[in-house]
Structures are given as structure tokens and as C-alpha cells.
Amino acid sequence: MKTTRQPWSTCLLREAVKIRKDFCVVHGDGTGIRLLAFVTPGDFMANTPVDFLLNGSNAVLWFHYVDETTSEIDNLPDYDVAFFAIGEANHHGPVLARMKLLLSDLERPVMNNDPPLIAGLTRDGVSAMFADEPSILAPQTWRIDRGALQAVAAGGQHLRDHGPELDFPVIVRPIGTHAGGGMACARDRDELARYLLTESSLGFYVAPFIDYSRADGLFSKQRIVFIDGKPFASHLALSEHWMVHYLSAGMTESASKRAVEADWMECFDTDFAVRHADAFEAGSTAPNSLTGACSCSNSTLRWWYTTWMIRRSFRTRRLQCRSCSTRSSEPPRKGAYRNWQMRHDAGRRPSGFCAVPVSDDV
């Protein structure tokens, strides 16, 4: 059975933060904007990876570490703009609540400054946000404790006892994991029982599994970013497995897969964005959703979950779509597979910033 242990790097970081709270990373020649990011100790998924957002810039990035015991924010490094980078996590409730109070006293503006909103971006919370949206299919996600799932696996209870109409097959994963960690598809009681033998978590997210494979049997995931409400294609990945990550989907090795991606990107504005305009509009105007993950089938989007959000003057929203019709393949164009980047207008946002898609969460 797997047990949860903090990696040595996280433990080392916590010890370092006891000595000092501020750490600096210089991008390029360091002549650009000075960005201050409020972060909390943890692994890679604990905070928005701001370094990715600054790729190719000359920015100076300061990390200021806080936690639930932080009593005040003072002696901050000199900066031009601040960014609240702490993401939603099962154990981040106390630090998010604490930062809501501390940031309210900060005189200078802070982008992404809405800790209560971030706290609500759980897997079950996001699915509930879109439950009544007709243009989006949002499979409901439930939190179910280990004892209840063990009872289901043993035949003493039914999944529908814990979620209306919930039945096999289901996607199950430990609460608090990301990037596919501990996630599996249980198609019956026996598979659920075997899964529980491998995971020690006391609580799990459970959602219905939806087969979003295409006619050729491949699973398709598209990542889309939103800037000021406008969608931009980031990348598309095709995989033989239902859990799709770009790096493990064989995209680099398969010219035919990359050709599909290139054609999708080329025709995005006239095809995909048009077919899903209603869903995009619903996602961008939802009161509690600023980023999301979605899958598509015809004109319906399946929204799954979100892990972070960026808003206000630096509005980048994460979406991922699962399945759409395959178009005729065209030869890949030069630069089609680089991470999408867009330079911000100097008059509206700090010059030197690049908004780039980050993470391959599923």
C-alpha cells in the first residue's frame, strides 16, 4: 500500500524558509519588471509555477513564503507588482484564510488576490459550478471516505448510496493529488478493491468515467488558454490511454499525431472556437470559475476540475478538452509545437510578461 511522504526537497524547503522568507530568481538580464509572488512551502503543485509565466522575459522574480502562522507582511523586497500564487489544495484552507486578512491591509495591488475564491476551486466544487449549465457537461464529483469505498468494494453498499446515479465504471483518486497521481478507473467492485490495496488515503474523489475516445480509439485532450476572454489554442495530445499527458502520449515520436495537432491549431479560430463558443462564454462568466479543465464531444464540453487560476489584469484561464472530430491532416508548420506565448501590451500590463500554458494535469 502506498503511503504519503513529503519528498526531501519539500522538507529542505521548509527548513530554508525557517531561515529566510524571500528568495530571488533573475530571468534574462534582470532589467525587466520586478514581480513579487506570495507562495507557501510545498511541492510543485502547491503554487502557480510563476517561473513558467516569465519564460523569455528579463523579469526579477521574488518568492515571499507565508503559511497559516504568518502574523504580518512586512519588510517585503522592492517590487513593481505582486501576484498571489498559492493554489487550491486540501490542506491550504488555513493559509488561504490567513492571507485574506493580511492582503487586505496591503496598500499596493496584488493580482489574483481572492483567496476565498481559490479555496472553492476543488474538484467537487468546480463540477458543481457547472451542473446547471446546458452548454457544459460537468460530471458530478463526490468526496467519499475510505471506509465507504471499502464497503462498496465488499458488496455491502452501492456507489449510488454515496452519489445519486453514481455507478461503475468510475474515476477514483486520492484527495489532494494532481497530475494523475493515484488516479485510476475502477470498472467494478473487484477493481475498486484492488485499487484500495494500493492507496492509503483516507478520502477520495469519485466521478463517473466517460469514454471520450474518438472513432479511431484514441483519446484526445486539447489545452486552451483564455486572455481577456478570448480563447487561444495551446496544444493537442492524442493517446491510446484515457489519462492523457502530452509528454507521455507519444506526440514527439508520432508525426501523424503532430499533424492532427497542427491542423487543429491552424483551424482553431474558424472551427473549434466557433463550435464551443457557448461553453467558452459560460466558463468565462461563471462567478466562481477562472480556470478549468474540460473535454469536448461535438458541441458539449465536459468540465472536470481546476487547480489554479490567474485573474484581473493577468487573466489566463486553463481549459482542456477531450474529444473532437479528426480533420484532414496537414504537414506540421514550423513552430507549431512550441508552447503558446503572447506578449502583453505594455500599456495594459507590465511589459516583459509572457502568458504561457503550464502543467499537464488530468
Supply the pLDDT for residue 353.
Answer: 30
Supply the pLDDT for residue 74.
Answer: 87
Domain ranges of the chain: 8-113, 123-135+212-355, 140-208
Q: Give the C-alpha separation, 281 to 289, whole Å.
A: 12
Alpha helices in the chain (DSSP H): 8-19, 50-53, 93-103, 115-119, 123-129, 146-154, 189-198, 255-266, 272-275, 277-285
Reported as a single tens digit per residue, the pLDDT across 256-289 is 999 999 999 999 999 999 999 999 988 776 654 4
Q: Are strands 60-65 and 22-26 parallel, antiparallel or unpaired?
A: antiparallel
Q: What's the alpha-carbon Rg for the chain, to the nearest Å?
A: 21
For the segment(s) 140-208, the CATH number from 3.30.1490.20, 3.60.40.10, 3.50.50.60, 2.60.120.10 is 3.30.1490.20
Cβ proximity of 15 and 42 under 8 Å = no
Reported as a single tens digit per residue, the pLDDT across 338-351 is 222 222 223 333 33
pLDDT at 212 over 60: yes
Cell digits of residue 333: 508548420
What is the secondary structure of 166-220 as a DSSP string? --SSEEEEETT--TTTT-EEE-SHHHHHHHHHHB--SEEEEEE------TTS-EE
Reported as a single tens digit per residue, the pLDDT across 159-198 is 999 999 899 999 999 998 888 999 999 999 999 999 999 9
Q: Give the C-alpha separation, 308 to 292, whole Å.
A: 8
